[in-house]
Amino acid sequence: MQTIAEPRNHYGRLKLLIGGAWVDSVSQDVREAFNPAKGEVIAKVPFSVAEETDMAVESAQAAFEKWREVPILDRVKYLFKLKELVERHSEELAIINTQNHGKTIEESRGDLKRTLENIEVAIGVSYTLAKGITLDQVSPGIDVTTAKEPLGVFSIVCPFNFPLMIPFWFLPYAIVLGDTVVVKPSEITPVPMQRLGELIQAELGLPPGVFNLVHGGRDVVERLIAHRHVKGVTFVGSTPVARQVYKLAGEHGKRAISNGGAKNTVLVMPDADLDASMPNMVASFFGNAGQRCLAGANLVSVGSVHDSLLRKFTSAASALKVGYGLDTGTQMGPLVSSAAKRRVTEYVESGLDEGAKPAADGRSLKLLEYPNGFYLGPTILDQVHPDMRIAKEEIFGPVAGVVPAETLDQAIEMINNGTNFGNAACIYTSSGKSAREFKRRVDAGNIGINIGVAAPSAYLPFGGRRDSFYGVLHAQIDSVDFFTDKKVTISKW
Ligand code: NAD
């Protein structure tokens, strides 16, 4: 086994980027960020005090006045440079992503690819969608134009599970369209964005204040939303917070895109090609140790497929090599924190208490090389009933609940009414008719057909419904309309 070298094993006390300068926070509220694979602290995270959060917004507002006047074809040049910068430092950023989050290096490289893809699509946006509409001669001598104008400062609030990719669902679009941003990474995984911030600050030459970075939790987020200069917030995280953020944004009259949690079903029909689908199906549940909003959570077996599905799925999942994501051959990393491990373990216990049967139990996994890491092995609970807590609530870990169903109709009913989440749902089948029924009737934003993680590329909206999403416009390409407002001018000459 080889281990990829870590650039550093401690990233010090993180700083804030305000108005183009790195600032040492005066905060006394300093938390620890971990390398979850080793259970070691890798950074100290000061939670910005109110004055620092305000300064970040004010510097973004001051920058906006000038940035909006920069022609879009000049703004886009910064994104070309940003793309080149991220590409050049991709491997370093992927390693830091793995160090702080715990996912495997391959998974981190995948995050970096999607990060780059969003920069590329934002570049394309500036040439296409940012154009307005012109209608000449709507009446004699009267012409109409509709321009998309930037609005000002936006705050970008991020979850722990994609420390680089998720900020980039929004950041490049906001900037190229003429807005300015204050990014607040997750306090659990702030290190990758901090490093990218250092690179941007050192090499991109962006005017000061266009991109600001603060650290913190609830207080910082609420202050950002309430600040009079903040025009809107993008939020990605758990459902209770997503709902709270959406409500608060509404109370302050702000725009909001608010993505929440998930409980995704992977449904398997008796006519599915199990052998061909198995690697993809296993990756759906156990990729990123199940800490993905598109991860499979309930594995619904329809009719006679149950026994062979359970056998093949358990055998493939149990063979996954769990370990440090920087060690070659590792296929699944740890959970992000000891609290996350505790929460997921409690869900497993609750499932067993309610009568589920363990087909694979990852609770006893111990890694000799990393005794302090937050590991939990792939866990599969069979005979899960739709009414059990583990079938309804988001677990966010490497746990699959196998839920038997008799028919496709019954399975679709479970998806639509068994939980109130609507992020993703997937079907494995060789029947076009079943696939079509599923696609049309399931109430979720992302549908996979023989695909276990239905992740939309950057040129598509990142959907979500019911308790998985609050808002109208979505992340990625949809955010073009979020970050701009339409101004109609009617003129007569
Ligand atoms: P979280 O809700 O705990 O935190 C998300 C962000 O909100 C963090 O930056 C945090 O500091 C901040 N925050 C926490 N409490 C807050 C409060 N009361 N008010 C304002 N801000 C607050 O989420 P997490 O644990 O970091 O991320 C995992 C969750 O994110 C899962 O539920 C997952 O499904 C979800 N997620 C959803 C999507 C999606 O697109 N729908 C994508 C990724 C992750």
Atom 42 of ligand 1, residue of closest alpha carbon:
293
* Mean pLDDT confidence for 55-75: 96
* Mean pLDDT confidence for 438-442: 98
Q: DSSP for 401-442?
A: EEEEESSHHHHHHHHHHH-SEESEEEEE-S-HHHHHHHHHH-
Give the up-direction half-sphere exposure of residue 399: CA atoms within 13 A in the CB hemisphere: 31
pLDDT of 130 above 70: no
Q: Report the C-alpha gap between 112 and 126 in whole angstroms.
A: 22
Which residues are registered as beta bridge partners of 27?
A: none
The tens digit of pLDDT for each residue in 358-393 reads 999 999 999 999 999 999 999 999 999 999 999 999
- Ligand 1 near 217 CB (within 6 A): yes
**3.40.309.10, 3.40.50.300, 3.30.360.10, 3.40.190.10: CATH of 264-457:** 3.40.309.10
The residue with tokens 């309309």 is 481
Cα dihedral across residues 148, 150, 155, 161: positive or negative: positive
Average pLDDT value for the chain: 97
Instruction: Locate the ligand 1 atom nearest the alpha carbon of residue 239 and give its number.
Output: 32
Give the residue, 224 or 133, on which the prediction is more confident.
224
8 A C-beta contact, residue 23 and residue 16: yes
The residue among 205, 153, 201, 206 whose CA lies nearest residue 180 is 153
Residue 259 backbone dihedrals phi, psi, to 5 degrees: -90, 130
- Active-site residue numbers? 293
pLDDT of 131 above 90: no
DSSP 8-state secondary structure symbol assigned to residue 260: -
Q: Report the C-alpha gap between 144 and 420 in whole angstroms.
A: 44
Structure tokens given for 306: 């149950």
Q: What is the pLDDT of residue 129?
A: 63
The tens digit of pLDDT for each residue in 83-111 reads 999 999 999 999 999 999 999 999 999 99
Q: Report the C-alpha gap between 71 and 68 in whole angstroms.
A: 8
Regarding pTM above 0.95, the answer is yes
Which residues are registered as beta bridge partners of 301?
A: 268, 404
Q: What is the pLDDT of residue 128?
A: 72
Structure tokens given for 373: 């890491």
Q: What is the pLDDT of residue 365?
A: 95
Q: Report the C-alpha gap between 154 and 409 in whole angstroms.
A: 43
16-260+468-492 belongs to CATH 3.40.605.10: yes
Q: Report the C-alpha gap between 493 and 491 in whole angstroms.
A: 7
- Ligand 1 near 165 CB (within 6 A): no
Q: What is the pLDDT of residue 132?
A: 73
Q: Report the C-alpha gap between 416 and 121 in whole angstroms.
A: 33
The residue among 382, 403, 465 whose CA lies nearest residue 268 is 403
8 A C-beta contact, residue 281 and residue 271: no
* Mean pLDDT confidence for 260-270: 98
The residue among 169, 164, 68 whose CA lies nearest residue 119 is 169
Domain 16-260+468-492 matches domain 264-457 at the CATH topology level: no
The residue among 46, 88, 43, 113 whose CA lies nearest residue 200 is 88
8 A C-beta contact, residue 361 and residue 322: no
Q: Domain coordinates of the chain in residue numbers?
A: 16-260+468-492, 264-457
- Ligand 1 near 236 CB (within 6 A): yes
The residue with tokens 């990233």 is 11
CA-angle at 448, arms to 446 and 452, nearest 5°: 115
**Ligand 1 center to residue 121 CA distance, Å?**
25
The residue among 358, 342, 447, 446 whose CA lies nearest residue 402 is 358
The confidence band for 133, taking pLDDT boundaries of 50, 70 and 90, is: confident
Q: DSSP for 285-328?
A: HHGGGG-STT-EEEEEEEGGGHHHHHHHHHHHHHTPPBS-TTBT
**Ligand 1 center to residue 159 CA distance, Å?**
4
- Ligand 1 near 221 CB (within 6 A): yes
* Mean pLDDT confidence for 137-157: 95
Q: What is the pLDDT of residue 277?
A: 97
